[in-house]
Structure 1
């Protein structure tokens, strides 16, 4: 009789269901966490580029514009809990003869950032390699009424 009970499958279905469920659930939860982090990073980078371009074209000078654009990127990334020190901000104005802040010049601001994947420990420098690079750019046109030294 004891050997018959050991070979019986009674009660093993629930154990198999729990094991299979955990094996499938853990990667699914991590996928949701990773996609949430990446989506938040994408929204942060896009918003940072847009705001930086807006404040740059309204600045009274290029130096003030660069400072305001960097501050806008810092604030936008901080809103999403991302470190702004890791972001690279590039300001480009194609075919600008008298500098970026001349009337009707298109100014493009590009923001690049590496978003780390969640729950990756910083063992052996894996946190740096286990990140996804994100990039966004936004273009704004300098107003036709813009004058040097004026602006909000």
Structure 2
């Protein structure tokens, strides 16, 4: 006798739907986390460079740059321990920052994939590196007033 297939289409649809839906949901969650951190890294680089370029002197540039960086890291929910900042100036021989130079701020971080446990360093191995850089021209009259 032949076995009846009545009612198996719904079961197959549910099974295939779940198999396809779970990876799709994980992809959406992962892309959202990466996009949030990418926007945060870009904003941190841009605003920090702008504040350093518009400061009155080296001390206020350092204080204001650190304050803006901490604010952006907090606003975008990034892990402050994973955020690294470097600053350079062009032309290379000049003090950084200095009058007439271009300040280049580079911010890097790593985004851990969602639901990856911190066992045996898996969260560090399964992370995505992000980097953003921003440049700001410093006034020729910087530090004179």
TM score, norm. by length of structure 1: 0.87
Partners of 2:89 and 2:35 lie apart in 1 by: 28
- For residues 78-99 of structure 1, the C-alpha deviation after alignment (integer angstroms, 9 at most, x for no partner) is 1111112211100100225551
TM score, norm. by length of structure 2: 0.91
Q: Is residue 144 from structure 1 mapped to residue 140 from structure 2 by the alignment?
A: yes
User: Structure 2 vs 1, CA of residues 92 and 98 (structure 1 numbering), >3 Å: closer, same or farther?
Assistant: closer
**Paired residue total:** 145
**What's the Cα RMSD here?**
1.7
**Quick check: 1:52–1:109 contact (8 Å CA) kept in 2?**
yes
Q: Which runs of 5+ in 1 are unaligned?
A: none
Partners of 1:29 and 1:74 lie apart in 2 by: 31
- Equivalent position of 1:90 in the other structure: 86
Partners of 1:75 and 1:85 lie apart in 2 by: 14
Q: Is residue 10 from structure 1 mapped to residue 6 from structure 2 by the alignment?
A: yes
Q: How does 1:29-44 map to 2 (within 5 A)?
A: 29-44=25-40
- Answer with 1 or 2: which has the greater Rg: 1
TM-aligned CA deviation for residue 60 of structure 1 = 3.0
- Equivalent position of 1:105 in the other structure: 101
**Quick check: 1:73–1:84 contact (8 Å CA) kept in 2?**
no
**Quick check: 1:70–1:89 contact (8 Å CA) kept in 2?**
no
Q: Which runs of 5+ in 2 are unaligned?
A: none
Partners of 2:53 and 2:102 lie apart in 1 by: 9
**Quick check: 1:50–1:138 contact (8 Å CA) kept in 2?**
yes
SS across alignment from 2:11: helix
Flag as ranges the 4+ runs of structure 1 deviating above 6 A.
none
Q: 1:54 aligns with which of 20, 43, 50?
A: 50
Q: Is residue 79 from structure 1 mapped to residue 75 from structure 2 by the alignment?
A: yes
Partners of 2:72 and 2:56 lie apart in 1 by: 22
- For residues 44-84 of structure 1, the C-alpha deviation after alignment (integer angstroms, 9 at most, x for no partner) is 00000001101111223334323322222221121111112
